[in-house]
């Protein structure tokens, strides 16, 4: 059964979000697309034509249907994860006023830890961009801000020059749900922004295009998520890093390296803009893994 055009449009937007902001693997994206498409077919069959009309009962009915045809609980948990992310994304876009999955519990499975770079790998990534051209200056400033502040790619794309206080070394960030937060920004990132602002930004700006965003394309338009994703991947290639990384990887690196160095989890939560401390707690698991690696590498009984 075909689904209505509005649903198809949201699926495409959701795919872009997974690929260019979340940095999800292609296999994950296709899996989510399959699950969400089946879910939207179910809604279409039940004459539910908009996401704002979906209730908790509708989601549970779909999951129960999967169970009745022999889908295993682990796969149903995967379906629910996809549906939950889809509805949260729709809520962020203003396509619905509530999340029907909010009170639906998920079967307990071990979380997959996000992939992160070592500090040495991050240094290689940053130094792969030398800032010898306007585009290179922009790209280096972008990488420094992503790693230095732990921003989401959407937050970076929206950043304006007036959001940065060079004297106080802070940046005002507009996150999910238009919630604003203050994030510290280091001297190195600020120095690259200053260099980009003075030497590259005037060359990228176009008199015919009015844009308040800080980071611009070669045509003077605000950078898209895809453009930032390509910048990160290009830098990784130049640095000889073969791990599958994305802009979101640098956000994970920001948090992980802070926790490894002893940063307070509440402070990291505030900087990341996580509404719930449980979301930030995954970095304590990463820290534990790091400690185990150190123990294996250096303890004489290993």
pLDDT tens digits in sequence order for the chain, 302 residues long: 578 888 888 999 999 999 988 888 888 899 999 999 999 999 999 999 889 899 999 999 999 888 888 887 888 888 999 999 999 999 988 888 889 998 887 655 455 667 899 999 999 999 999 989 999 999 999 999 999 999 999 999 999 999 999 999 999 998 877 789 999 999 999 999 999 999 999 999 998 887 889 999 999 999 999 999 999 999 999 999 999 899 999 999 999 999 888 888 889 999 999 887 877 878 876 666 655 666 677 666 65
Active site residue 274: yes
> Domains in the chain and their CATH numbers?
5-93 (1.10.150.130), 119-296 (1.10.443.10)
pLDDT at 30: 92
Rounded CA-CA distance 250/248 in Å is: 5
pLDDT at 281: 78
- SS3 state of residue 167: coil
pLDDT at 287: 62
Active site residue 251: yes
Rounded CA-CA distance 86/59 in Å is: 12
Rounded CA-CA distance 268/258 in Å is: 8
DSSP code, position 222: B
| Nearest Cα to Cα of residue 218 among 235, 234, 236, 206 | 206
* End-to-end Cα distance, the chain: 58
Task: Give the β-pairing of 180-184 and 164-165.
Answer: unpaired
Active site residue 206: no
Rounded CA-CA distance 302/287 in Å is: 19
Active site residue 285: no
User: In this structure, how many other beta carbons lie within 10 angstroms of the beta carbon of residue 188?
Assistant: 12
pLDDT at 26: 86
Q: Which residues of 61-74 are buried (b: 16+ CB within 10 A; e: fewer)?
A: ebbeebeeeeeeee
Catalytic residue among 174, 233, 274, 285: 274
What ranges in 94-186 are assigned the alpha helix state H?
119-127, 134-149, 153-158
- Tell me the HSE value of 78 on the side-chain side, using a 13 A CA sphere: 15
Catalytic residue among 42, 140, 152, 257: 152
Structure-token pair, residue 105: 């519990």
Active site residue 79: no
Structure-token pair, residue 283: 């970095």
pLDDT at 112: 63
Catalytic residue among 22, 138, 140, 248: 248
- SS3 state of residue 261: coil
Catalytic residue among 176, 195, 221, 238: 176
Active site residue 34: no
pLDDT at 142: 97
Tokens 């203003």 belong to 94
């Amino acid at each position: 059964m075909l689904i209505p055009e509005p649903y198809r449009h949201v699926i495409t937007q959701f795919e872009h979000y997974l690929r260019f902001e979340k940095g999800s693997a292609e296999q994950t994206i296709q899996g989510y697309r399959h699950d969400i498409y089946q879910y939207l077919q179910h809604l279409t069959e039940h004459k539910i034509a908009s996401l704002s009309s979906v209730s908790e009962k509708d989601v549970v009915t779909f999951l129960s249907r999967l169970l009745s045809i022999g889908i295993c609980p682990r796969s149903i948990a995967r379906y629910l994860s996809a549906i939950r992310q889809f509805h949260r994304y729709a809520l962020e876009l203003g396509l619905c006023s509530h999340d029907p999955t909010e009170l639906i519990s998920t079967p307990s499975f071990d979380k997959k830890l996000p992939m992160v770079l070592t500090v040495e790998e991050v240094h290689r990534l940053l130094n792969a961009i030398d800032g010898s051209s306007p585009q290179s200056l922009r790209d280096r400033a972008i990488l420094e801000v992503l790693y230095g502040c732990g921003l989401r790619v959407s937050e970076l794309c929206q950043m304006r020059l007036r959001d940065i206080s060079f004297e106080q070394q802070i940046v005002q960030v507009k996150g999910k749900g238009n919630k604003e937060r203050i994030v510290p920004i280091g001297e190195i990132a600020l120095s690259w922004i200053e260099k980009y602002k003075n030497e590259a930004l005037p060359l990228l700006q176009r008199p015919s295009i009015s844009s308040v965003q800080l980071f611009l394309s070669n045509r003077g338009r605000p950078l898209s998520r895809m453009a930032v994703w390509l910048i990160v991947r290009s830098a990784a290639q130049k640095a000889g890093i073969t791990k599958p990384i994305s802009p979101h990887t640098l956000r994970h690196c920001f948090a992980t390296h802070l926790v490894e160095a002893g940063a307070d989890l509440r402070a990291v939560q505030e900087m990341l803009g996580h509404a719930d401390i449980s979301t930030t707690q995954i970095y304590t698991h990463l820290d534990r893994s790091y400690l185990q690696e150190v123990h294996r590498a250096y303890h004489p009984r290993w």
